[in-house]
Amino acid sequence: MHDAEIFICDSADIAEGGKGVRFPVTASGEDCTAFVVRYAERPRAYLNRCAHVPMELDWNHGEFFESSGLYLMCATHGALYEPDTGKCAGGPCRGGKLQPIAVVERDNKIYWEPNDIVRPARA
């Protein structure tokens, strides 16, 4: 395992187009959450912050997909995002995008990799 990788969850914890798993991070010096979902058979992780208004997306803990399972949706104003790119697909986000977080799936476990913006949560 790479030293910088941080365990999120077991692979079985996220199903295609299903509930996501939230995890704590520090982004640009602020304590917040990120999330991982499965889309197109791969884990995808993003900072849990809408590009329209800086609020968390999920309307219920871990509920990020809208009813069709094709888009991630912000519960507050209905902004839609492509799960594979994080780009705005409709609604008030207007060309914005979610902050992606690199994830690795190995040995039935999912890990995330800190970057210049998103760091491990402060203790």
- Residue-averaged pLDDT of the chain: 93
Residue 88 has pLDDT above 60, yes or no: yes
Tokens representing 43 are: 């884990």
Q: Measure the CA–CA gap between 14 and 28, rounded to whole angstroms.
A: 27
Listed in sequence order, the residues at least 6 apart from 15 whose beta carbon sits closer than 8 Å to its beta carbon are: 38
Tokens representing 122 are: 């402060």
Report pLDDT for 54: 85
Tens digit of each residue's pLDDT (9 = 90 or more) over 27-80: 988 999 999 999 999 999 999 999 998 899 998 889 999 999 999 999 999 999
Q: Which one-letter amino acid corresponds to residue 84?
A: D
Write down the domain spans for the chain.
6-120
Q: What phi and psi values does residue 11 have, to the nearest 5 degrees?
A: -55, -35
Residues 81, 88: contact at Cβ < 8 Å? yes
**CATH number, domain 6-120:** 2.102.10.10
Confidence of residue 123 (pLDDT cuts 50, 70, 90): low
